[in-house]
Amino acid sequence: MNKAFVKESDNDDDDDLPEAQALPKGTRNYMTPEGYHRLRDELAHLMNVERPSVVQIVSWAASNGDRSENGDYLYGKKRLREIDRRMRFLTKRLDVAEVVDAASQPNRDQVFFGATVHYSDQDGEEYTVTIVGVDEAEPLAGKISWISPVARALTKAREGETVVLRTPGGVQELDILEVRYPEPKD
């Protein structure tokens, strides 16, 4: 197929990937040490393993001749763009990352970044969440972003306090049952 009919550009700069939650303007990209290492390891894997492998496949496919109907070549070029886009995104996120070690938190009775909070809602249902960075959030695993409404409602509260959570569905009260932090490593 002629490239004139394909809506692609060689300089795709779609760093606003759908899986990435945007940071509010003027805020820092807080991360736990584990989250920082996970993103750094992903970047290293893409750069040192996956990208060279795909480049090798594309170069082999290009040597086979007609590129217009060569599936390995077309898919490989697309995959290279995806890898390069993800590498740009990870590089930008890691460049502005501020690693916060929750184990060194001095106010261990108050909710801050990195805290694991056990709370109940007004219906009596109990939840346990850990407040983590935007790039580490996994709500189904109990890891919520520090900019999420629940995390913002819980921040700076102490065990035994009740906080107000405002959502589009209405106002809820959350009772904080326990605040935990990881133990400091010696």
| pLDDT, average across residues 55-74 | 81
143-145 sheet: strands from edge to edge: 143-145, 126-132, 116-120, 170-180, 162-167
Does domain 27-99 sit in CATH 1.10.287.180? yes
Q: Which residue has the higher pLDDT, 74 or 158?
A: 158
pLDDT digits (tens, 9 = 90+) for 5-15: 444 444 444 44
Which sequence spans correspond to the domains of the chain? 27-99, 102-180
Beta carbons within 10 angstroms of residue 142's beta carbon: 13
Give the per-residue pLDDT at 140. 94
Q: Give the count of alpha carbons within 13 A of 148, CB side only.
A: 20
Helix/strand/coil for 140 = helix
Mean pLDDT across the chain: 86
**What does CATH list as the number for 102-180?**
3.10.50.30
Beta carbons within 10 angstroms of residue 176's beta carbon: 20
Helix/strand/coil for 21 = coil
Burial 44-60 (b: 16+ CB within 10 A, else e): eebeeebbeebeebbee
Q: Above 90 in pLDDT, residue 105? A: no
